[in-house]
Amino acid sequence: MAASDTERAQQQIDEIEALSSIYGDDWCVVDEDEKIYCIKISDCLDQPKWTLCLQVILPPGYPTAEPPIYQLNAPWLRGQDYTELANSLEEIYLQNLGESILYLWVEKIREVLVEKAQSSDPVPDIKKTTEEVDEDDGDDFLLDYQPIQEDQIKMLNYMTSESQEDEELPPIHHGNPITDRRSTFQAHLAPVVTTRQVKRVLEKLYENKKIASATHNIYAYRIYCEDKQTFLQDCEDDGETAAGGRLLHLMQILNVHNVLVVVSRWYGGILLGPDRFKHINNCARNVLVEYDCVPSTEESSRQAGKSKKIRKDNKKRTEH
């Protein structure tokens, strides 16, 4: 390893340790090996009105040669708001080339959130936010059935056609629940090959009163398109900030194809901090392994080699 690489690696370690110390429980390690981290940022410490999750991937060349790869997650962050904030972050990077910039990014985002809180901007109408459920609801929420997941189903409507209304409902499997400090997590799995099947499975799951009344129903799916040699994939946090993206990332690492995973979480009144993400991913991994959805190492290597060959052949055709 070259000296410059060693120095960059040490700079990353020093920066991560500093950020973890500064931001405490708001800082979370998604995948230490892949250098994926996220931080929950809000306009203030007490009763925040505006919240955003910044997820970053630190490439080997950061900070001296490459910028962080980032994603901004917030239900209210759309259009011009997103563009302006992204431009601000990129401007900070350009003004501080070669330097560690994550702290500057976090504080810039916080500054924007504080400005929104102090302005006349209406507070975002978010029915559910991460771990913001009254403790009194911990054991009793299952008694009051409120189908709050309809919006998620509607989001899939634009991807499906009326002609597919009679498409067969895939079998749905349920994993073993995990309980920690009164919170319970359970994964549900279904084989899917179209987005219409994803929609049908979600509709079927939400017919179950217990699942429909879960505090969060996080899901992700990956569908392999043979003709295009690409994946159709998407995820949903359902109020548990960044959980859907982490679930999808797990499915990508495991190289699973043509499957939908939904993880239901029933909040028990006690904050779990980063442990909740561990339980979500463990539930998902367990059900994927139990129903033989995870390819063997040999199969994964063969599929990866096939994909590389296809990309290489396509490149040759393009050059000619």
Q: Whole-angstrom Cα distance, residue 41 to residue 11? A: 23
Q: How is 52-114 classified by DSSP, letter by letter?
A: EEEEEE--TTTTTT-PPEEEEE-TT--HHHHHHHHHHHHHHHHHTTTS--HHHHHHHHHHHHH
Average of per-residue pLDDT values in the chain: 77
pLDDT of residue 138: 33
Query: pLDDT tens for residues 6-59?
Result: 888 888 988 898 888 888 888 888 788 888 888 889 887 677 788 888 888 898
Output DSSP code: residue 123. P
pLDDT, mean of residues 188-192: 94
CATH topology of domain 3-118: Ubiquitin Conjugating Enzyme (3.10.110)
Task: Please provide the size of the chain in residues.
Answer: 320
Q: Whole-angstrom Cα distance, residue 30 to residue 138? A: 27
Strand stretches in the chain, DSSP E: 27-31, 36-42, 51-57, 69-73, 173-174, 178-180, 183-191, 216-225, 230-236, 259-266
pLDDT, mean of residues 279-307: 73
Query: 191 and 258 in contact (C-beta within 8 Å)?
Result: yes
pLDDT of residue 123: 60
pLDDT of residue 121: 61
End-to-end CA, the chain:
37
Query: 36 and 43 in contact (C-beta within 8 Å)?
Result: no
The three-class DSSP label of residue 29 is strand
**What Å distances lie between residue 9 and 17, 96, 166, 209, 275, CA to CA?**
12, 18, 54, 49, 27
Output DSSP code: residue 237. -
Query: 109 and 41 in contact (C-beta within 8 Å)?
Result: yes
Q: Over pLDDT 90: what percentage of the chain?
A: 19
Query: pLDDT tens for residues 87-127?
Result: 899 889 888 888 899 999 999 999 999 888 888 666 655 44
Query: pLDDT tens for residues 244-262?
Result: 888 988 888 888 889 999 9
pLDDT of residue 122: 65
Q: Over pLDDT 70: what percentage of the chain?
A: 76
Domain boundaries along the sequence of the chain? 3-118, 135-298
pLDDT of residue 127: 44
pLDDT of residue 164: 45
Query: pLDDT tens for residues 216-244?
Result: 999 999 998 888 788 888 899 888 888 88
Is the pLDDT reported for residue 135 higher than 50? no
Is the pLDDT reported for residue 314 higher than 60? no
pTM score of the predicted model: 0.48
Quick one: how far is CA 60 from the chain centroid?
22
* CATH superfamily, region 135-298: Impact, N-terminal domain (3.30.230.30)
Cβ contacts of 112 within 8 Å, gap of 6 or more: 85, 88
Q: Whole-angstrom Cα distance, residue 197 to residue 167? A: 7
Quick one: how far is CA 26 from the chain centroid?
16
For Cα atoms 277, 279, 280, give the angle at the middle one, nearest 5 degrees. Answer: 65
